[in-house]
Amino acid sequence: MPDYLRPTSLDEALQALARPWTVLAGGTDFYPARVGRAIDENVLDIGGIAVLRGISAATDGWRLGATTTWSELVEAELPPLFDGLKQAAREVGGRQIQNTGTIAGNLCNASPAADGVPPLLALDAEVELAGRAGSRRLPLTSFITGNRRTMLAPGELLVAIHVPRPARDACSAFLKLGARRYLVISIAMAAATLEIEDDRVAAARIAVGACSAVAQRLPALEAALAGAAVDSLAACVEASQLVPLSPIDDVRGSAGYRLDAVVTLLRRLLAGFAS
């Protein structure tokens, strides 16, 4: 029989990772992937480690604990900078999944269609990884390297996500296209964070998901938005700015459809900032 361990401290969890374990947080990806077969791997349940949960603020930004759930994020008192991430949180499965699924689990599962990744990319987030030798930080842009692949080394846990405080007042938004409203894998997603000064964009961060093996920032569009008036942002979007994307054909949509849909999503997303 495999082993099951539910530590109550981070140190205990990291010591356990001296040998192979499958890490379990909310379990919303773990259990569906094992329907119909016995669990035959050792399971390390990190849900009992208090230091991994919760959201805190400091002068330089915010720390989102790894096992903070999507429902906890939605209910947290956060500035408009986090509106896009909260909108994505409401799109993660249904309410039961949002009550259990964790922010870090969404990142470590590393699905190309993970709802949390584009808004966190647009927030310029970093991940904090801890191991027995110490901790390190990586930009989220470097952490997810491919479909179901990350930079987590053996013996490491993702313990927190860090969001830097922008230089100016900022707001964000998120849109998702799926075959229905809830409990659906994305066909395409778009997220934006804008720093606005005197009704013009001082800085922009735009990310698109479900249109490549890893969600991507769109630097050409970000550059085009710099200095633009808030009420004219949708007109800045052009198909030529989607160069980093490489969508596939699958049962949810063709590559061509995804590229067309992303242009529309981006225009609708940016038009919303003027309202």
Task: Find the mean pLDDT for residues 201-221.
Answer: 98
User: How many residues in total does the chain contain?
Assistant: 275
Q: Grade residue 208 by pLDDT with cuts at 50, 70 and 90.
A: very high
Round to whole Å and give the CA distance between 197 and 229: 10
- Residue 41: count other Cβ atoms within 10 Å of its Cβ: 11
pLDDT at position 124: 98
Round to whole Å and give the CA distance between 145 and 151: 7
Q: What is the largest CA-CA distance in the chain?
A: 64
pLDDT tens profile 5-51: 999 999 999 999 999 999 999 999 998 889 988 889 999 999 999 99
- In sequence order, the β-bridge partners of residue 200 are 197, 229
- In sequence order, the β-bridge partners of residue 61 are 58, 164
pLDDT at position 230: 97
pLDDT at position 260: 96
pLDDT at position 85: 98
pLDDT tens profile 115-128: 999 999 999 999 99
Task: Find the mean pLDDT for residues 56-77.
Answer: 98
Kindly give, in sequence order, each residue whose CB lies less than 8 Å from that of residue 65, ignoring residues fewer than 6 positions away.
Answer: 51, 52, 53, 54, 55, 159, 160
**Short-list 259, 208, 218, 257, CA closest to 241:** 218
Round to whole Å and give the CA distance between 2 and 70: 30
pLDDT at position 31: 87
pLDDT at position 156: 98
Ramachandran sector of residue 93 (left: φ over 0; alpha: ψ -120 to 50; beta: rest) = left
Q: Grade residue 184 by pLDDT with cuts at 50, 70 and 90.
A: confident
pLDDT at position 1: 73
- The structure's pTM equals 0.96
Q: Grade residue 275 by pLDDT with cuts at 50, 70 and 90.
A: confident
Does residue 223 surpass a pLDDT of 80?
yes
**Short-list 246, 243, 178, CA closest to 211:** 246
61 and 40 Cβ atoms separated by less than 8 Å: no
Higher-scoring residue by pLDDT: 151, 185 = 151
CA dihedral for 165, 160, 80, 175, sign (positive or negative): positive
pLDDT at position 33: 86
Which burial class, exposed, middle or buried, applies to 248 when counting CB atoms under 10 A from its CB (0-12, 13-18, 19+)? middle
Round to whole Å and give the CA distance between 201 and 255: 31
**Per-residue DSSP letter, 123:** T
Does residue 209 surpass a pLDDT of 80?
yes
Percent of the chain with pLDDT over 70: 99
Task: Find the mean pLDDT for residues 159-187.
Answer: 91
